[in-house]
Structure 1
């Protein structure tokens, strides 16, 4: 009787649909996750109103610079690792399997929370739009309608979702550019000013809050790597798409923030934003554009949120697929739909969690904007920031064992710089987390959420240690996806060739992690 090879278990029975997505489709998923119109109308207006700084445009430029550095090492690693587990897989390769499983336990609630929070924003916005037409509908009815469509699309062909996102995002970007050009062409005092791009305000105490809020506006761009197994020529497609997703989000957010300040005058933008809040953009362009274009903006704001919902559904379900395929989660999560190739159990699980949370909020009568959208998005954003920070360190660790034909800039310099900068942003986020949630300084939520993330990561560490002791053949494949057996063994540090008579014993004795 022959012994089964430990790195090719029955869990890896299916793969995601291959060769479905080109560069444009992957870019659409990344930009959709970042939801630029949602950020422009919601986050940028709120930042001007709450912080009162004129440095919002330069803050987005600064964050784009940090994330561009992060992306250099991130996409360099993507050329060597093709796995829908993204951050989890990269951290497993760079920092070890135990840390990788801890990262996975952070990723799942983080992305799930961000998507569920967006249902609150969608429901509230849709309810307001319907009310303008005389149709009074509770927010949760609109949210559940969106939930139903996202649930169906989540189990269909991923390229179908990509086409839906393409249509929505082209329209969204077009209206953003029209609004920006309108605001810039009607400057306060008749003169366009660039003072909002002065870096001086970044040296003030508000820089921490500015960078934290700005970086949250980019969360979702990293979803490009989650789609690596379904991309055409993934080693090139993912790299290009990720760079484009960061650049597009940065351009749209910084340009729009500057255009608002040009239209009101930098000295007046904070007061105007405080007065009009999320209606700021519509107030500024309302006097210069036909009502039809203003109303179209409201509608596209809604579709922007929907596009982000769809992108996060894809991200969460593919994380669960990667973990199920490799034995970290039950094997059912590692199977795909026989016709569409979509991760069936992961998508359905996320939908079930979402509908349960939405039902609880509906019954409780809680404010969907404050306690669902704002809180859940902020909590999820902290988790994703932790993952980015850890991934920067993982890139350094991965290439420290061999540059693999990557140059020094991509393998060491850019990842190290991004690690340092993200460390500063993460520290500022944790210290000021209560302010981001807008709770009192003595509130339990000031420290509870960071501690909970630390706790979930520790649970992941413990689960990985248990797997290493009890199921070394499953532990061996953590973060490795469908990579070829010899690549897995080489990355794990096994001698070549591995003794065929006792693979489990070799796994016990030779593991570096």
Structure 2
């Protein structure tokens, strides 16, 4: 396999460290977006009370996967991550197929967020200033800003994401502390029986969307200070942060709304349940602030997914699978600027189409494309884990756990989640 030209080894570029990668990864998971929109929706759609348990289970599965994934990153450094690993395991055609699925999945996740962002930003402008702005106008404004930041240096993006991530993480922690401290104990949500109260398979698939982006640390390997250590550490930190954090938030919802009432309240209020509980537990001032942070949280996720998609375009352009112009990097900024502009153009076409047809930005644009993206990522994780197993077979390069056990166990666990997700996909669509 040929060694790609590094993205940004220029004197004016600051190499990325563990903290930078964690910012990119966790920002993609959008803590406040998951807390305000994701957790209540999973409760309502699946009827599973044991979401805290499932968050930890899913984090454990992804940690097992990450052992082999991180080990692979020490041998293969490529902006295509998934496609590069699958290529090493199964050949060029399989790698190209994986890259295509990844491109579709991440594009779907990124573009879907414009629907949610547009509605959230439009609502914020309406409540704060009385302005009535269509959702698509807000979405186009965010799209323009993402395009500019994606074109510029990646370390600038890291600073922007760091600031946005900090404020929304603090907001979620304040909410969790207030509800867990002032609500009922809600210890029942930690019992094994609570997992069997609804469609656990659908819940796992739904919740996988909360973790999407954890694997993207390897995509920035070429831009890291020390990819052999940085990628592995950032991946483990991100999985632990996301799993433990969202388990605590799901517990906080059950404590605030009550174990007997959290499912009904989630179905009644949807994303507004976060703000209903926050106003009672913290105060109106906190609700006003978190509505702003909710919008910035969505923007951070848009920017992070945009960066991932641009780098998949870069990888496919380098290989000649897509036009080779996509494999170019900016001579000054070192960014994959052609891929970045291409992603922005695709988003403009899709969002514009939904706006012109008058389709609902949340129930269609956001819901449809998010489900497609989540299922695609689960498939990619499963195939990549199998490819890592094949790659390390007969190659005593790593410790027995990361080379022998973790890839096989990760493949089996992820395949089970994939089968469960497909079998209960009707629950995710509300059918």
The TM-score bracket by the shorter chain reads over 0.9
Where 1:396 maps in the other structure, the secondary structure is helix
Deviations 1:223-255 (A, max 9, x none): 111111111111111110111111111122110
Q: Which residue of 1 aligns with 2:209?
A: 216
Matching of residue 141 in structure 1 with residue 133 in structure 2: no
CA distance in 2, matches of 1:180, 1:435: 28
User: What is the CA-CA distance between 1:401 and the residue it aligns to?
Assistant: 3.5
SS at match of 2:276: helix
Out of 6, 20, 38, which is 1:15 matched to?
6
Alignment partner of 1:43 is 2:34: no
Q: Structure 1, residues 67-93: CA drift from partner, whole Å, max 9, x if none?
A: 111111111111111111011111111
Stretches of 4+ aligned residues off by more than 4 angstroms: none
Report what 1:267 is aligned to.
260
Pick from 227, 230, 253: which aligns with 1:234? 227
Q: Name the CA distance, whole Å, in 2 between partners of 1:425 and 1:280.
A: 28
Number of aligned residues: 426
TM-superposed CA distance for 1:348, in Å, is 0.7
Instruction: Return the offset for 1:205.
Output: 6.1
Unaligned runs of 5+ in 2: none
Equivalent-residue separation in structure 2 for 1:59 and 1:399 (angstroms)? 30
> Does 2:98 correspond to 1:89?
no
Question: RMSD value over aligned CA atoms?
Answer: 1.5
Aligned to 1:466: none
Hey, what does 2:299 align to over in structure 1? Answer: 306
- Answer yes or no: is the 8 Å Cα contact 1:221–1:246 preserved in 2: yes
Question: Does 2:415 match 1:423?
Answer: yes
User: Pairwise mapping of residues 58-457 of structure 1 onto structure 2 (< 5 A)?
Assistant: 58-132=53-127, 133-188=129-184, 192-203=185-196, 206-404=199-397, 406-439=398-431
CA distance in 2, matches of 1:416, 1:205: 29
Which SS does the other structure have where 2:383 is aligned?
helix
CA contact (8 A) 2:105 2:374 kept: yes
Are 2:385 and 2:411, in contact at CA under 8 Å, matched by a contact in 1? Answer: yes
Q: How far off its partner does 1:203 sit? A: 4.8
Shift of 1:153: 0.4
Change (3 A) 1:376 1:121: same
- Displacement, 1:41? 1.1
Query: Do the aligned residues in 1 keep the contact of 2:25 with 2:214 (CA within 8 Å)?
Result: yes
Deviations along 1:408-455, one digit per CA (max 9) or x if unpaired, are 11112111111111111111222222332224xxxxxxxxxxxxxxxx
1:289 Cα deviation from its structure 2 partner: 2.0
> Distance between the aligned counterparts of 1:204 and 1:294, measured in 2?
31
Q: Is the 8 A contact 1:15 1:336 kept in 2?
A: no
Deviations 1:444-479 (A, max 9, x none): xxxxxxxxxxxxxxxxxxxxxxxxxxxxxxxxxxxx
Higher helix share: 2
TM-score normalized by the length of structure 1: 0.81
Matched residues in 1 for 2:307 and 2:346: separation? Answer: 15
CA contact (8 A) 2:49 2:197 kept: no
Query: SS of 2:270's equivalent?
Result: helix
CA contact (8 A) 1:33 1:223 kept: no
User: Post-superposition shift, 1:7?
Assistant: 4.9
The separation in 2 between residues aligned to 1:303 and 1:397, in whole angstroms, is: 41
For the 8 Å contact 1:72–1:415, the answer to whether it is kept is yes
Larger Rg: 1
Structure 2 distance, partners of 1:416, 1:194, is 34
Give yes or no for contact 1:223–1:311 (8 Å, CA) kept in 2. no
**CA distance in structure 2 between the partners assigned to 1:401 and 1:356 by the alignment:** 47
Distance 2:357 2:97 in 1: 33
Query: 1:417 is paired with a residue of what secondary structure?
Result: helix
Q: How far apart are residue 163 of structure 1 and its match?
A: 0.4
Secondary structure, aligned partner of 1:338: coil
The question of whether the paired residues in 1 share the 8 Å contact of 2:201 and 2:420 is answered with yes
Q: Is this contact kept in 1: 2:6–2:223, CA < 8 A?
A: no
Mapped to 2, the partners of 1:290 and 1:267 lie a distance apart of: 24
Asked whether the 8 Å contact 1:20–1:158 carries over to 2, the reply is no
Contact kept? 2:61, 2:414, Cα under 8 Å: yes
